[in-house]
Chains A and B, each alone.
Chain A
Amino acid sequence: MQVEKFYYDNKIVKAFGYATVIFGIVGMLAGLWAAIQIYAPAASLHFAPTTFGRIRPLHTNAIIFAFVGNCIFTGVYYSLQRLCKARMFSDRLSWIHFWGWQLIIASAAITLLLGFTTGKEYAELEWPIDIAITLVWVVFGINMFGTIIKRREKHLYVAIWFYIATWVTVAMLHIVNSFEIPVTFFKSYSWYAGVQDALVQWWYGHNAVAFFLTTPILGLMYYFLPKAANRPVYSYRLSIIHFWSLIFIYIWAGPHHLLYTALPDWAQSLGTVFSLMLIFPSWGGMLNGLFTLRGAWDKVREDPVLKFMVVAITCYGMATLEGPLLSLKNVNAIAHFSDWIIAHVHVGGLGWNGFMAFAMLYYLVPKMWNTPLYSKKLATNHFWLGTIGIILYAVPLYWAGFTQSIMWKTFTPEGQLKFQFLETVTNIIPMYVTRSIGGGIYLIGALLMVYNLVKTIAKGQFVANEAAEAAPIAREALAHKESWHRKIERKPVTMLVLSLIVVGIGGILEMVPTFLVKSNVPTIASVKPYTPLELQGRDIYVREGCYTCHSQMVRPFRDEVARYGEYSKAGEFVYDHPFQWGSKRTGPDLARVGGKYPDSWHYNHMDDPTSMSPGSVMPSYPWLLDNALDTTTTAAKIRAMQKLGVPYPEGFDKIANTELSAQAASITASLKKDKIETPPDKEIIALIAYLQRIGKDIKLEQNNTQTASK
């Protein structure tokens, strides 16, 4: 057979690698800043773009899509070429992909800080960026499948399966969750409302973890771990079972983010069952990784790359054991809305994703620059700093989450709640401080890596095009009879379709019933659409990222009903585009805040939270008192809502601003009674209108039934 000579493209790998490092540092800095703000609210600088509500989405998006995203592309562009024994399909597409992705990241950073957000976690980016993501993702797909099709290796190695499943599922998740109606260039409303929006969002959110932070990294594990240990994976059989069962089961597990909420019970149970089953493929993968090192543990002592991988895979195992446990309703009742979840995701993020990325970079840079690593010792120090950082980060937060949750649920013998919400927060501030120290140490470790890699690069010689040779796939080899799975496994497109079917089944079964069956969302007659002023106020609530610290979901627990009021019903959220249930209570739940305090309380509280609740860790929002409300968008917003099925009367968009002014005037008057003078056109007025409305409709309902029964 004629052997063909060709070159691997290392330049694109280098570019993605640099981006991984840069955005990793940026994302961690944003995280550290956000962590410090929790106990030192003044660190928000009293400046809108740097408050927690905007820095936190910046942190999550930067880590997920910029750091881990670029890490995935680095690894895929390196390993795919070698596993296929072919250069990437098109250099031009590679570079369009690279610059397109970096452009998306840059625009994401700017828009998030400016407050342009859809208000759906990890999918905050507004619609023009959503479209750009879709296009760039398609470019990546064409490039990847093109490479697979022109490959010189007959078989598709299991890592490639994980890449294919990642590509197809992320495409599906992104498109389904991003259905939104544009209002202006930077503002859109989610197509779905309330319960349905929540279900779609957490189907997306959970599977963003599954198919962006897990499957591609598992693919990298199946390539880089055997490379670094210089031995094949422990069991290839297990890797096949791992693959199919993981992608099938993962897609169902989303509703475990919504246990005890207003989501229909059957959907919650479905999420629990599949989350429990998920332990098997997850641990299958972990054991497959760790067993690969059997008899090679002496190498782990020597090689920083393997050290990072061992801890990464262990963290993967810990996080995926914890995940199913957290999906049990009784555990979830304690953990949900608390810092426990933050600890859980960071074991995954810092341990699994971070350490896999570091391991890969320590492996790739010496390879591509054709020189040994500048300092093994420094890398080992990085490893220890990182490991200690993870422990110092996670342990205090587990403690904090558990303590706070138990405090929330404590009653006095007389049957009163024992602790004010604020007491439960100030009690765990030392944990928050320790956590940020842990994060800081982890970041210092990452900086050591940057130094180490820069030094390595300086002394090496970059191999931009790495020569390789391989024979093309022999035609006659295809002719003889083969088993069906082998056939599938050699055909990337069949593989793509099959993975889509497998993940599609889960998605459809999980979500479609809530859209179809009316009894899943019982309507409540007294629930009315928001007034124009409230709608504008709600958009300010979304813009400032209030949902990053406040939930709007009273669960049916004794303590929550005692603390906040009547538990939340599915029918209350039918006009909420997007839903704002939140996922974390750094501040108290707001589902029943309407009418709880006078207007003036909210006014003063937004200006300086400590003036109303001493010791509060909420940032202050002085700009809301000065900024004039933009009412030019009101009509467009009303029309968009009408299109989504919100029953505003015909032609309401034309009179909406008149109604808005009238309501604003009445709030201004009520403020004046409490000696606060403010013009009625300020943003704070709209926000107060919204806050005073939340959760009130159902109180009306109760009043009505009481009157009726009298």
Chain B
Amino acid sequence: MPITSRASVKASIIYLALGAMLGVILLIDRWIPLGTAVSALRASHIQFLVVGWLTQFIIGVAWWLFPPLAIGLRDDSPLPVRRGQSQRGSEALFWMALAFLNTGILLRALFEPLHSWTKIGFFSILAGVSGLFLLAAAVLFVANLWSRVRELGKAKVSQGTSS
């Protein structure tokens, strides 16, 4: 598993644990009221589990397991000439997508409850901006992975006359 996927999957598991803990707090609040502020944590609970856990986990595993890019395959060779990370696409773009995704998750999960508690308008803007980060992450990830959604072992790239 490449370091890119490891970072994504490990982050997703941390969000799973955090999201589940917030779920426990929300449920305990129904039993023993912990204060009116607690209900604002619902947005963070959903964000952590749906985007932080599920989406980020899928992104990490897809980056690891999807067929490699067809680049560097010779017509006469069953094995790719280029191996490893270079056949997964742009590592830099993946890191950028991961950074945007996590920035978006944290902005939303922090500032939506903060805005609900304090009513400070700037916090609402920061929570709103999170959507742009998440959108950018989605675009970068899909653009980077798009060519790897292909039939395995069929698409070979001709590299001129084979010797």
Say if A and B assemble together: no
The residues of B with any CB-CB pair to A shorter than 8 Å are none
